[in-house]
Amino acid sequence: MASIDYSTRITRIDGTEGDLGEHEGKVLLVVNTASKCGFTPQYEGLQALWERYRDQGLVVLGFPCDQFAHQEPGTEAEIAEFCQLNFGVDFPLHAKIDVNGAGTHPLFQQLKAAQPGLLGSKTIKWNFTKFLVGRDGEIVSRHGPKATPESLTGAIEQLL
């Protein structure tokens, strides 16, 4: 199994820069998100997981993406406000990224290489694809958009 590279740079939704090293030793749930998608209500479930397990070492990382039917058209400030007002999101959100194509963010390059989709596909098919990463950085599993955050509870608890 492959591991994530903790030196991978990330830009938080407020524009500040960091790297994945700030989450080293934690269980990560990495999700490509969108505000105008049929799966957008999953923000509520993601927030619930964050609230339930953060003290045990879970970090939910949201990465807005506008590559699927233009369902994340807003600015970072608009996205942050939408998520906070509508779903009470306070888990870490990041600047918009690409999850497919030439501009794919390095984190999603790593995730897709380690956990391909159906029939070995290296692409993300839609918003709210989820990846679980163990405390050791190992990329453990990939879950499609139809997998609700709640359905990941057992897998998360095993990693914690």
Tokens of 95: 């600047």
pLDDT digits 0-9 by tens, 36-91 = 999 999 999 999 999 999 999 999 999 999 999 999 999 999 999 999 999 999 99
- What mean pLDDT do residues 101-105 have? 95
Overall pTM > 0.75: yes
pLDDT of residue 119: 76
Fold of 9-159: Glutaredoxin (3.40.30)
Whether the predicted pLDDT of 118 surpasses 90:
no
**What residue ranges do the domains of the chain occupy?**
9-159
Tell me whether strands 9-11 and 130-133 are parallel, antiparallel or unpaired.
unpaired
Distance CA 69, CA 94 (A): 20
3-state secondary structure of 60: strand
Catalytic residue among 20, 37, 79, 140: 37
What is the percentage of the chain residues whose pLDDT exceeds 70? 99
Active site residue 37: yes
Distance CA 76, CA 6 (A): 24
